[in-house]
Chain A
Amino acid sequence: DVKVTQSSRYLVKRTGEKVFLECVQDMDHENMFWYRQDPGLGLRLIYFSYDVKMKEKGDIPEGYSVSREKKERFSLILESASTNQTSMYLCASSLAAYEQYFGPGTRLTVT
């Protein structure tokens, strides 16, 4: 069974803090993704990585950065958290083009 784990289920941070969201997958997948999910907007891709140390911007990369130093781990960094980054953050990994495996999500609240 593929497993994608995320470091926290719930997180509360203050405006201006640097925030790290961690994601780990155990299936040796090349590709990893970070999305945010907001009511009425669906899933929007922030960044993805197709190999260690490789990354590409998704549709909404502003205010975020990522790090992939090891194949199994993909980190999302909010350099200076703002209230409009309050959201559900979902990590995913994939091997095939049609199937992504998602983690349980981190609900981040920025106050």
Chain B
Amino acid sequence: QKEVEQDPGPLSVPEGAIVSLNCTYSNSAFQYFMWYRQYSRKGPELLMYTYSSGNKEDGRFTAQVDKSSKYISLFIRDSQPSDSATYLCAMNKGAQKLVFGQGTRLTINP
């Protein structure tokens, strides 16, 4: 069993929709939970991170962590075509080494 599971999609939604992206994990020692965004032919870039449980909001993006269920989510409100990318969840135990999910390819249709 992989430490981090993420549905690879692809996911296609109309512009303006609310998008929900999710990951589950098995290691209860994980402390930092990150979402990276990767545009085509580019390296991933950090979108948001959360330490331990709870919610974090940044503009149209909200990250949620539920440690009791070992489940993390990224919500995108009012989705735009420019949000089309692959979204990767990542987590670690406080050390530098990250464990990544497979990534979900998202397309927002105008």
Interface residue ranges, A against B (CB under 8 Å): 4, 31, 33, 40-45, 48, 50, 58, 90, 92, 94, 97-105
> In the assembled complex, which residues on chain A have CB atoms less than 8 Å from the CB atom of B49?
98-99
Main secondary structure of the interface of B (DSSP, over half): loop
The 10 closest A-B pairs by CB, nearest first: A102-B43, A42-B102, A43-B100, A98-B49, A98-B32, A31-B96, A42-B100, A99-B46, A102-B44, A104-B43
Main secondary structure of the interface of A (DSSP, over half): strand
State whether A40 touches B46 (Cβ < 8 A).
Answer: no
Q: Which of B6, B45, B94, B97 contacts A58 (CB 8 A)?
A: B97
With A98-B32, A104-B41 already in contact, the answer to whether A45 and B46 are too (CB < 8 A) is no
Whether B11 sits at the interface, judged by CB under 8 Å, is no
Q: Whole-angstrom distance from the CB of A38 to the nearest CB of chain B?
A: 10
- Cα A102 to Cα B97 with chains together (Å): 14
State whether B43 touches A40 (Cβ < 8 A).
Answer: no
- Cα A4 to Cα B44 with chains together (Å): 12
Can you list 26 A-B pairs, Cβ within 8 angstroms, ordered by A? A42-B6, A42-B88, A43-B44, A43-B88, A45-B97, A45-B98, A90-B43, A90-B44, A92-B43, A94-B96, A97-B92, A97-B95, A97-B96, A98-B34, A98-B49, A98-B92, A99-B34, A99-B46, A100-B46, A102-B43, A102-B45, A103-B43, A104-B41, A104-B42, A105-B41, A105-B43
